[in-house]
């Protein structure tokens, strides 16, 4: 009976490829960065691209995204969130491909640079983003809009900042995501209301003679 269903229902419908593209954000020197690859294959060989991969028969979309991210960075258990699906008929000149985009947040110091070299991957400042293939710029823009809406979420800073950081670094992260300068006094008032930040006894002595207290995030619940 099941074989009849497969034969009679599915065979007359079109088939196409399903893929996942990963928008990988990092934070470095007061700026948001994006991990891109320089394609060494067609279509669009030699152009900048998000990293992606095709869905396998034994994978869910989430599993495909996790695999793609791991292959490029060597990291597991990374914060990832689905951005949306992109299915314009002519979005990929090679074949009919529907892609689901995910954005990920990683600490740049944690990823494996050797894997990046193998995949011809490079960190690029978001402010200096080169032209991207297909509809990848639309994916990045949509992911960034979502990131801006969620900037106060504990997960954002937890995954982008080092374990210990100054309030100035924390403010710089907010400013990088929002794309605007924030008033220091008002920001500090906002920080005082955040119940997921913890002040430590340690200081960063590089910024001034007196030093700036270092903060950390409280442990996140699984």
What's the pLDDT tens digit per position in 48-61?
A: 999 999 999 999 99
In the chain, where are the structural domains located?
A: 10-149, 154-217
Angstrom distance (rounded) from CA 87 to CA 96:
9
Closest C-alpha to 190, from 146, 147, 152, 150? 152
Angstrom distance (rounded) from CA 78 to CA 69:
9
Which DSSP category does 152 fall into? T
Confidence tier at 2 by pLDDT (50, 70, 90): low
Q: Partners of 54 in the beta sheet?
A: 19
Angle (nearest 5°) at CA 220 between 102 and 145: 35
The average pLDDT across 34-58 equals 95
At the second CATH level, the architecture of 154-217 is Orthogonal Bundle (1.10)
**Whether residue 206 has pLDDT greater than 80:** no
CA 85 to chain centre: 16
Angstrom distance (rounded) from CA 102 to CA 84:
7
Angstrom distance (rounded) from CA 63 to CA 47:
27
At the second CATH level, the architecture of 10-149 is Alpha-Beta Complex (3.90)
Confidence tier at 90 by pLDDT (50, 70, 90): very high
What CA–CA distances, in Å, run from 126 to 20, 39, 143?
A: 21, 19, 12
| Pairing of β 197-204 and β 212-217 | antiparallel
Angstrom distance (rounded) from CA 25 to CA 161:
11
Counting residues of the chain whose pLDDT is more than 90, the rounded percentage is 77
Entry pTM: 0.91
């Amino acid at each position: 009976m099941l074989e009849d269903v497969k034969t009679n229902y599915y065979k007359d419908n079109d088939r196409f490829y399903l893929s996942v593209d990963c928008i990988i954000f990092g934070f470095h020197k007061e700026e948001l960065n994006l991990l891109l690859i320089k394609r060494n294959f067609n279509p669009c060989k030699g152009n900048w691209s998000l990293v992606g991969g095709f869905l396998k028969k034994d994978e869910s979309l989430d599993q495909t995204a996790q695999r793609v991210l791991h292959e490029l960075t060597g990291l597991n258990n990374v914060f990832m969130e689905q951005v949306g699906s992109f299915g314009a008929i002519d979005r990929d000149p090679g074949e009919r491909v529907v892609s689901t985009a995910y954005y990920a947040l990683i600490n740049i110091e944690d990823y494996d640079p050797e894997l990046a070299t193998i995949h011809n991957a490079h960190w690029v400042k978001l402010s200096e983003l080169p032209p991207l293939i297909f509809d990848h710029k639309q994916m990045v823009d949509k992911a960034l809009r979502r990131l801006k809406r969620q900037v106060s979420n504990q997960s954002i800073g937890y995954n982008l900042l080092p374990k210990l950081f100054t309030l100035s670094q924390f403010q710089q992260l907010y400013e990088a995501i929002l794309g605007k300068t924030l008033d220091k006094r008002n920001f500090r008032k906002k920080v005082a209301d955040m119940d997921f930040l913890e002040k430590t006894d340690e200081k960063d002595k590089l910024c001034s003679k007196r030093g700036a207290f270092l903060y950390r995030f409280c442990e996140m619940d699984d």
